[in-house]
Amino acid sequence: MPSARSWRAYPQTYRLEASRCSGCQKTFFPPRQVCNACSGREFETFRMGYGGTVVTHTVIRTPGDQFQGEAPFAVGIIAMDDGPKMTTQIVDVPLEEIRIGMKVKLEFRRMYAEGHDGVIEYGHKAVPLRE
């Protein structure tokens, strides 16, 4: 069944909406209620850009049911150019070519589908930045 939790998260998963603490300017993704740096409670919402850098990554060889047929694939922590870090798959690149410090761009992708008759969940994955 479609979950209310993933539906409520569409502003983050679809549009990369993050928050910036009005007190100390620290950025959060996903947004938080209380700033962990200055304990501020006022935030402004902003939409992150799509650029980032690989901080670390690992290769998943035995995935859960939802990712059947996709393994092996890479999951990494991406430091976004706009501040926050996020965890997501790194795709469209041979696994052995993924490097710490590699520049990436987030693209809109299918994250998983619930079987053949369930809802399709969309979000963002990282691809190598090529220009």
Partner 1 sequence: MSVGIVGYGAHLPRRRIKVEEIAKVWGADAPSYKKGLELLQKSVPALDEDTITLSVEAVRNALTRAGGIDPADIGALYIGSESHPYAVKPSGTIVAEAIGAVPSCHTADFEFACKAGSEAMFVAYGLVKAGLVKYAVGIGGDTSQGAPGDALEYSAAAGSAAFIMGDDPDKMLATVDETYAFMTDTPDFWRREHQFYPSHGGRFTGEPAYFRTTLGAVNGLLEKANLKPEDFRWAVFHQPNGKFPARVAKMAGFTEEQYDVGRLVPLLGNTYSGASPLGLTAILDVAQPGDRIFMCSYGSGAGSDAFVYTVQDRIREVQNLAPKTRWMLEENTIQVEYGEYAKMRRKIRLAGE
DSSP H or E segment with residue 128: strand 120-128
For residue 70, give the amino acid letter. E
- Answer yes or no whether residue 125 interacts with partner 1 by CB under 8 A: yes
Binding footprint of partner 1, residue count (CB under 8 A):
21
CB contact at 8 A, 28 and 84? yes
Cα atoms found within 13 Å of the Cα of residue 4, Cβ hemisphere only: 0
Shortest distance (Å) from residue 24 CB to partner 1: 27
Residues of this chain, 63-122, that bind partner 1 according to CB under 8 A:
68-70, 91-92, 107-111, 116, 120, 122
Question: Which residues sit at the interface with partner 1, rule CB under 8 A?
Answer: 10, 14-15, 47, 50, 68-70, 91-92, 107-111, 116, 120, 122, 125, 127, 130
